[in-house]
Amino acid sequence: MLLTTTIIIAALVCINFLLLKISCNKTAKQNKINKNPIVLKSHKTLVDIEENLAPTGS
């Protein structure tokens, strides 16, 4: 009985690996990789504004 269980589990593992090998995703890999860095620059200028605050009363 132990031998039968071992054979069945080994057969299931083999079938699992065969199915995994057959059903793998075969997409074309992109060979050319753009190695230039992408630089994000912000050209914003900060303007200092003086605000006259209203008296709070405290």
Q: What is the pLDDT of residue 4?
A: 95
DSSP per residue, 22-48:
HT---PPPP-----SPP----------
Residue with tokens 């065969």: 18
Gap between the Cα atoms of 13 and 19, Å rounded: 10
pTM: 0.42
Q: What is the pLDDT of residue 58?
A: 63
Cα-based torsion angle of the residue sequence 9, 15, 18, 20 in order, rounded to the nearest 10 degrees = -80
Give tens-digit pLDDT for 3-57. 999 999 999 999 999 988 888 766 666 667 767 777 777 666 666 677 777 777 7
Q: What is the pLDDT of residue 15?
A: 95
